Amino acid sequence: MIALLTPSKVSHSLARSYNKLFANGLDALIIRLPGSPKSCYEELIAAIEPQWRHRLLIDDYFDLIEVASIGGVHLNKEKRGSFPLTSYKELRISTSAHSLEELESLPFVPQFALLSPVYDSISKEGYKANVPLHECKKRLPQLPFPVLALGGMTPEKAKEVLAYGFSGAAVLGYMEGAEELLLERFLAFPRTEALTVAGLDPSTGAGMTADILNMEHLGIFPLSVATIGTVQHEEEFKEMCPAPPLEYTLKAIRHLLHLHKPIASKIALTEQISDVLDIARELRSCGVKQIVWDPVIKPTQGDIALHATPDQTLVKQVASCVDLITPNLPEAEALFGSATPEDVQRKAKELGVSVLLKGGHDERSKYCSTDILFMPDGSRYSSSIPKAPSTKHGTGCALSSAITTYLARGFTMLMACRMGQQYIEALLHSSDRLFMERNDRMLLRKERALRSTSLMFITDATDCRGVLSQAEAALKGGVRWIQLRMKQADHELLTDTARKLKELMSAYEGTTLIIDDDIEAVLESGADGVHLGWTDSSIGLARLRLGANRIIGGTCNTLEDVRKRALEGVDYIGLGPWHFTTTKRNLSPVISPEEMKQITMDNLNRCNIPLFVIGGITEDDIESLGKYPIAGVALSGVINQAKEATTKAFHLMTLCNNRFKRNF
């Protein structure tokens, strides 16, 4: 695992450069700006793209956590006792220590810790190595959390410390003052690793080879040990092949992990469930901190059972050696005797293990697939994604390998499971075949929508039929972005209308559907995103529920509003009103041309978030607004009130494309 600490002062260009490091595998950025005002933290965070905010940890101004969708906190010794740990189940918690004794006496279990100085500091003159490495080799593997070496870290030393029980490195001085070489220097460090112990699927759609592809796609280095062969392809599972002796698997793990030190591993298909127990024990003895068991008992494609219903004593033994079990409903039935949420919750508490009950086989919801995470303390957390139009081969393998990857990066169990589910949604939409492709199709669709749209059309009808009529006229005129606004509609009517509108829009290539206010309606309809006003749900909650692949827009009226929305991590801004309009209640003050110039130039120089001007927009306004660095306009009445709505939409689309597409 690799974490980077910021220097005490961070320029805007350096802050933007961190996005490239995240895209190339940086696991964590600890924002530590000693003595700096809150505004310095805000400017740095605003420069980080929303898709990477969950990898940030801050050491001060903790109210920014929810405002800016920050993924974690870094606590020094003075702040350990005052931070409300129990209030933030999702957050990654890291801390710093200067001795083994301090690590061993921590009052809580962090997701990872830093120990320093391991070598002579690069950034602090006179700060000499003071960590007994041979003691680390004996004592660090006994800790229930990974420890990163800090102090004098170079790529060579980051590899060297793995032999002393460390799980990675935290880097400061080696990267300081090297903005032009930042990415090049980072890429020289060893990548974070995770291990899969699983069977071989010749189609590569599931099993060990699929795990390797998933881990690689998620940016870490995959390690693998094969347990068993299979005769199958994506449409049918025929049989398991003769397995190598269990001792071979254990020996392979032992030899591999003598050199490599993955934080997390998954165990999947084995010849016998009792083998899982031996493998888990071997992984623990080799220092693996997090173990995920994906209990492959019956393949989705095939009518054969791979294992008999396991003995409950064996299940209890395996549960004591792993951290998470990820059964689907039939597997939960086999393991626990019941797949009802209440019974699984009771069983997770009884066994003292986390259980993620996968919802892909649950027919109770027609529109959403809901996973439920049951924790050993009796708590439970659910998260949903829209059901995909078709099934895919290997979703269970992909989910467990994604969760393992996020655990290897030091995320909490709750966040690893949530992000794993969102990863699965991206895979389900990656192709039209039974195979899942490892691509960024959903993210590319989002980026294309944000950068190619110059006219956002907003519905103002109050009933479903009216909305569909307005939308069809706009679509025929070339509009490809529709925001569904039904302010007086309840959740059920809004969601039903969104589903029908989405179906209508599917006949037109490159369309984008945004729902006003209602996050759950987005999930239940499969819409592309949500637009939130100041009195609606928070941007942070929306990002947590919807993930990085969906669009989140926000309303703004002033320069301060735009800066706050940038800090919150919106994907676009509806800026207005430009004129007084009767289609919106509680209207904010009209923006003057001078204010528009100030706001748009400030945004261009700081974050360059796509701005769409809204509020009584007319045909003449499109020409005058073209002089500002904005992405386009959002409008409603000028199309809806036209005698020939389709003709008007076509004309306005042509004007907008001519005036605004040159800006981005």
Element (H, E) at 546: helix 539-546
Q: Which two tokens stand for residue 461?
A: 């009808």
Task: Find the largest Cα–Cα distance for the chain.
Answer: 82
Termini Cα distance of the chain: 37
Q: Which of 438, 439, 422 is nearest to 210 (CA)?
A: 438
Which string of b and e fits 447-467 if b means at least 16 CB within 10 Å? Answer: eebbebbbbbbbbbbeebeeb
Report CA torsion sign: 187, 189, 195, 199: positive
Answer yes or no: is 555 a known binding residue: yes
Answer yes or no: is 422 a known binding residue: no
Answer yes or no: is 485 a known binding residue: yes
Contacts of 345 (CB under 8 A, 6+ apart): 374, 378, 380
Answer yes or no: is 582 a known binding residue: yes
Q: What is the dihedral of CA 217, 218, 224, 227, to 10 degrees?
A: -90
Answer yes or no: is 300 a known binding residue: no
Answer yes or no: is 536 a known binding residue: yes
Q: Which of 432, 427, 430 is nearest to 396 (CA)?
A: 427
Answer yes or no: is 412 a known binding residue: no
Q: Which amino acid is at 15?
A: A
The SS3 assignment for 354 reads strand
Cis peptide before 117 (omega within 30 of 0): yes
The 3-state secondary structure of 327-340 reads CCHHHHHHHHCCCC
Answer yes or no: is 201 a known binding residue: no
Answer yes or no: is 484 a known binding residue: yes
Cis peptide before 577 (omega within 30 of 0): yes
Beta strands in 26-111 (DSSP E): 28-31, 56-58, 72-75, 92-97
Element (H, E) at 514: strand 512-516
Do 369 and 361 touch, CB atoms closer than 8 A? no
Report d(CA 295, CA 268) in Å as an integer: 6
- For residue 424, the tally of other CB atoms under 10 A from its CB is 24
Answer yes or no: is 230 a known binding residue: no
The SS3 assignment for 434 reads coil
Report d(CA 57, CA 405) in Å as an integer: 18
Report d(CA 15, CA 329) in Å as an integer: 45
Which residues carry a binding-site annotation for Mg(2+)? 517, 536
What are the binding residues? 483-487, 516-517, 536, 555, 581-584, 616
